[in-house]
Amino acid sequence: MPIPGQSFRFTHAILRAPAGSIVDGLRAIDTGSPDAALFRAQHAAYRDALEAAGLATTVLAPLEEFPDSVFVEDAALCLPEGAVVLRPGAPTRLGEAVMIEPALLEAFEKVRHLPALGDHGHGRIEGGDVLVTDREILVGRSARTNGAGIEALREVVRDWGYRVRELATPPEILHFKTDCGLLDGETILTTRRLAAGGHLGDYRLIHVPDGEEAAANAVRINDVVLLPAGFPRTADLLRTAGYAVVALPNSEAAKVDGGMSCLSLRFRRIA
Ligand code: CIR
């Protein structure tokens, strides 16, 4: 069940080391392939930041056959009650769900699955479309996440006490969380284009300044907010609002549409 103030409190994180095949990662617009060595260095800095924020981290071995597998967030949803193995909507990424399962079984007593075929058809969800707040689980329907997947997730987490609310991801945006991130249980950092739908209106919203849309995929972890480096106006805005910001280099993940949230599965173990 959502517990007030706990949706951004974590004890552990699972990451996967970037494979050399990250140069073949999916991207909406080709601005050049990531440099694998620099990606590894930025990934190591990201892991250090998670540990500095208080998390125990597990880094899984790279998977050459899955170029995008460094973006572990898309294959599972981790809640304090247990983990859900998702079904990524990108055909080249579906197999990542199978590959993440052993790590989830190590970390969680309860591991559930999004059914392949539910009452509403073939369900697909990528974790990048899922935002867990203090009140509910918001899921943005997108090119990767369909209505059947959202219905299936609703059933899977119902008896854990979660409400799942479906929202829309604007078509030009990869994932719902490409354009938003939780800052605290009641506050969401968002782009104006995502907020334009109006459905986030009952949260306190902080809008990223125009031109800094790529900063919206921030992630609050315990007492800090991880933000991609290079967005000084967003960093200032957040610091002025009272958040402790840690800016991390993200140039290589950004070339394949990755940001702060997608590089880890964060969770809180209930003692
Ligand atoms: C993809 O297109 O699936 C990857 N290249 C990027 C995934 C980023 N994931 C995320 O934001 N949750």
pLDDT at 4: 85
Cβ–ligand 1 contact at 90 (below 6 Å): yes
Nearest-atom number in ligand 1 for the CA of 217 is 11
What range does the domain containing 147 cover? 12-267
Q: Could you give the number of structural domains in the chain?
A: 1
pLDDT at 117: 76
pTM score? 0.97
d(CA 216, CA 114) in angstroms, rounded, equals 28
- Let me know if residue 3 belongs to a domain: no
Q: Does the active-site annotation cover 175?
A: yes
Here the CATH number for the domain that contains residue 19 is 3.75.10.10
Kindly give the parts of the chain with pLDDT less than 70: 118, 270-271
pLDDT at 156: 97
Nearest-atom number in ligand 1 for the CA of 93 is 3
Determine the Cα angle at 180 with ends 29 and 203, to 5°.
155
- Let me know if residue 7 belongs to a domain: no
- Let me know if residue 251 belongs to a domain: yes
Residue of 12, 78, 175, 180 marked catalytic: 175
- Let me know if residue 16 belongs to a domain: yes
pLDDT at 271: 61
Could you read off the pLDDT of 195-215 as tens digits, one per residue?
A: 998 889 899 999 999 999 999
193 with 170: CB under 8 angstroms? yes
- Let me know if residue 254 belongs to a domain: yes
Cβ–ligand 1 contact at 257 (below 6 Å): yes
Sheet holding 82-85, edge to edge: 76-79, 82-85, 111-113
Cβ–ligand 1 contact at 228 (below 6 Å): no
Q: What SS3 state is found at 228? A: strand
Cβ–ligand 1 contact at 67 (below 6 Å): no
Reported as type and span, the H/E element at residue 60 is strand 56-60
Rounded distance from Cα 106 to ligand 1 centre (Å): 24
- Let me know if residue 6 belongs to a domain: no
- Let me know if residue 1 belongs to a domain: no
pLDDT at 150: 97
204 with 186: CB under 8 angstroms? yes
- Let me know if residue 5 belongs to a domain: no
C-alpha distance from residue 258 to each of 69, 151, 170, 218 (Å): 11, 26, 17, 11
pLDDT at 2: 83
Could you read off the pLDDT of 224-256 as tens digits, one per residue?
A: 999 999 999 999 999 999 999 999 999 999 999
Contacts within 8 Å (CB) and 24+ apart, 91-94: 92/26, 92/66, 92/67, 92/68, 93/26, 93/66, 93/68, 93/69, 93/126
d(CA 6, CA 9) in angstroms, rounded, equals 5
Residues in the chain: 271
Q: Does the active-site annotation cover 113?
A: no
pLDDT at 255: 97
